[in-house]
Amino acid sequence: MKSFVMYQFKNYIRSNLFIPPITLYFIWVTILYAYGSNDILASYIQSAVVLFFVATWMTMNIFRLEETAEAHILLVHLKQKEHYLYGKWLVCLLMLLPLVLFAHFSPIITKSFAQSLTSADYLLSLYSHIGLGGLGILLGSFFTATKINSSKYIWLMTALVAISALAYSKIFEVLPSGIAWILWVLPPIRFFYEPLQAASATGLPTGFLASFSLGVCYLAIATAVTLKLFMRNEQL
């Protein structure tokens, strides 16, 4: 398992596929804090939401590194099929970690905030970036580790789901109440940025625990569903 993760990590680095998403994210965060005196949580919301899209992009590249024949060879060496998925997820997390740290600490180091950070600000920032990064990994792997991967419209479908998740509130308003429940299948990115919008100087917002619980539940269910569909994918 360890050797597989290292192989995947090195393979991804050698492919240079990491350069566009990571470069784009570094540029975005740099521009975001270019003028200084930024609002703390509003800025962290922006960098966290963009990280969701970047994590999805990186994950899809990582899961599509090999052709089907090469993936079969790797599965033979791994012996247990699920280890292939776990290994890919670990590589995604390894690539996500420096982006989370950069988004969180770079404005602190450059003193780009108008106020001093509280302990609640630190917690909410890490919660938002890690949560949305994790959602991006699950969304990207759902479309690339299952039978959906065979579709030639995979990038378009993923983009539509990601954008729909971002526009959840607007879509919910226009959908008939009888079918609005279907939006619950979308990645609930709102659970990971709305607490930052509701936060106050006194500490964590009132609804933080509810958002945290619902967000973690979705991550757990999405992980289980993706694993189940991956194990049923006869192409691997």
Which pLDDT score, from 0 to 100, does residue 66 have?
83
What pTM does this model have?
A: 0.91
pLDDT band at 38 (very low <50, low <70, confident <90, very high): confident
111 domain residue, yes or no? yes
206 domain residue, yes or no? yes
Q: How far is CA 106 from CA 45, 49, 109, in A?
A: 15, 17, 5
236 domain residue, yes or no? no
165 domain residue, yes or no? yes
Closest-CA residue to 222 (of 181, 186, 180, 194): 186
Considering only the C-alpha atoms of the chain, give the largest distance between any 2 of them, rounded to a whole number of Å.
Answer: 56
Neighbouring-strand partners of residue 38: 113
pLDDT band at 202 (very low <50, low <70, confident <90, very high): low
Q: How far is CA 130 from CA 49, 51, 64, 75, 100, in A?
A: 11, 9, 23, 29, 7
Q: Hey, which of 23-27, 82-86, 199-203 has the most confident mean pLDDT? A: 23-27
pLDDT digits (tens, 9 = 90+) for 16-31: 999 999 999 999 999 9
**Of all helices (H) and strands (E), which one includes residue 183?**
none
In the predicted structure, residue 232 carries a pLDDT above the cut 90: no
133 domain residue, yes or no? yes
Which pLDDT score, from 0 to 100, does residue 153 have?
83
In the predicted structure, residue 196 carries a pLDDT above the cut 90: no
In the predicted structure, residue 164 carries a pLDDT above the cut 70: yes
Helix, strand or coil, per DSSP, at residue 224:
helix
100 domain residue, yes or no? yes
45 domain residue, yes or no? yes
pLDDT digits (tens, 9 = 90+) for 132-163: 999 999 999 999 888 776 677 888 889 999 99
Residue ranges making up the domain that contains 52: 2-231
181 domain residue, yes or no? yes
Phi, psi (degrees; rounded to nearest 5) at 199: -70, 155
Q: How many CB atoms lie within 10 A of CB 189?
A: 23
Pick the range with the lowest mean pLDDT from 12-21, 31-40, 41-50: 31-40
Closest-CA residue to 63 (of 191, 158, 180): 158
**Of all helices (H) and strands (E), which one includes residue 20?**
helix 19-32
* The total number of structural domains that make up the chain: 1
